[in-house]
Chains A and B, each alone.
Chain A
């Protein structure tokens, strides 16, 4: 793979599957009188109306930006809060035995509980509304960041501590000079996974009865049998999640140029 952009062959191959998929979708649904799934062209028109209006001019026209912005702010807000808590906590658990003994057992028990299982409790505690969605996104992003941070700071090669000590690094400075840079690739992997999970969880989170957000219109449209809107919302989430991961990946390439796995 080249550092800048993709080769033509890669572009062709990457586009082949979606193009074939849409084609199959079209053939299966086009011209059918009673299809439950709308054909791709209808979805495209609906998406255009959601984004720019001018086609149906109904309640949903031109609302995509509002919903997207609502979801984005929850995804990045929940993710940022998760990082803010999970990064220092992971570093402490990974490097301080007392903190590890205190927190690790409890976290291991909480970890297998799926985010969706927290939904009812979140609604009871935070009420029906954006705060529940925010909390679920936070939870979804929290564990990947925490676990990868713990792994990173715990698995610093012992030799590097010796090298730093014989070069005159004081014990207080070892964390900043050795532990942190050495664990950056793991921490970065955690952040990337965490952001991915935040996107996965956002739809569930917005099913808690919020008014805006891509998850909210997907649920609402389903009840109104506006399947074109459901699919438009899905496609939008997919594209946004993909773009957001790409940005993080580019950032990682710059920051982790030194790492054979990332650079």
Chain B
């Protein structure tokens, strides 16, 4: 077990992408018919990248994310992590669900420590890890509260802390801030960027909001429906921290709005 060893990169200079999506198609049975949720999608993601998936409803964003998480299998094509096929869910890829998915019978601290505890880490270590990440998301006072006693934004912070405490290398987020008010959303966006930079995370983030995508990501992947496919994949070159009121930001906003063709 080398879980405790620092995560130093010992990979060759010809850097493997952390995630690779190669010609992935996903069809669902829908009664007697078949729905193509995603058609021939390809994507290479480097370690540490912050990528947003954006596109209208039904274009396959969640489907793609769920395949990377290992909850769904591809109908055709392959999904690789560090060059190895993704065979199912695993603690290297943490998911933050839109509806939080917290364990209602566990306190905030127990939810955050759930992953390390499930993988058999010693009790003291679990408690210390949980405390660290509960503190990080600013819920120290609520460590012993149960999920139903928290607001939506607080529950979402628990969900994020839970994935970070589990030392996930890749963080998958499916419209995590969709249900939150603007102020809470902005604060969580900033907190997320801070953790991403500090922990060298790779983030795959689904959103409907163009502004959120431009504010957060290194790269924006634009998708379109019927059948779902990737139509654009662009770097966001703006320096951080980004100012949503700047002319450059606005120019990008118009550009992506045009790309999404009247959906926004």
B162 at the interface (CB under 8 A from A): yes
* Complex contacts, A181 vs chain B, CB 8 Å: 103, 105
Interface string of B93-114 (1 = CB under 8 A from A): 1110101011111110000001
A258, B97: Cβ atoms closer than 8 Å: no
B105, A258: Cβ atoms closer than 8 Å: yes
How far is the CB of A149 from the nearest CB of chain B, in Å?
Answer: 17
A163, B103: Cβ atoms closer than 8 Å: yes
B77 at the interface (CB under 8 A from A): no
Given contacts A162-B95, A173-B118, whether A167 and B162 have CB atoms under 8 Å apart is: yes
* Complex contacts, A163 vs chain B, CB 8 Å: 95, 97, 101-103
B242 at the interface (CB under 8 A from A): no
B68-125 residues with Cβ-Cβ distance < 8 A to A are: 69-71, 88-91, 93-95, 97, 99, 101-107, 114-115, 118-119
Question: Which secondary structure dominates where chain A touches chain B?
Answer: helix
A165, B101: Cβ atoms closer than 8 Å: no
B255 at the interface (CB under 8 A from A): no
A184, B105: Cβ atoms closer than 8 Å: yes
How far is the CB of A50 from the nearest CB of chain B, in Å?
Answer: 45
How far is the CB of B73 from the nearest CB of chain A, in Å?
Answer: 14
Q: How many A-B residue pairs have CB under 8 A?
A: 68
Interface residues on A, range: 20 to 34
* Complex contacts, A169 vs chain B, CB 8 Å: 118
B104, A168: Cβ atoms closer than 8 Å: no
B118, A159: Cβ atoms closer than 8 Å: no
B69, A259: Cβ atoms closer than 8 Å: no
B148 at the interface (CB under 8 A from A): yes
A159, B101: Cβ atoms closer than 8 Å: yes
B166, A168: Cβ atoms closer than 8 Å: yes
How far is the CB of B214 from the nearest CB of chain A, in Å?
Answer: 28
Q: Select B89's contact among A159, A162, A263, beta carbons within 8 Å.
A: A162
A166, B118: Cβ atoms closer than 8 Å: no
B101, A160: Cβ atoms closer than 8 Å: yes
A-B interface, 3 closest residue pairs, ranked by CB to CB distance from nearest: A168-B91, A165-B89, A167-B115
* Beyond A167-B162, A167-B166, A258-B107, 7 extra complex contacts between A and B, CB < 8 Å: A163-B95, A164-B118, A167-B114, A168-B90, A182-B104, A259-B104, A259-B148
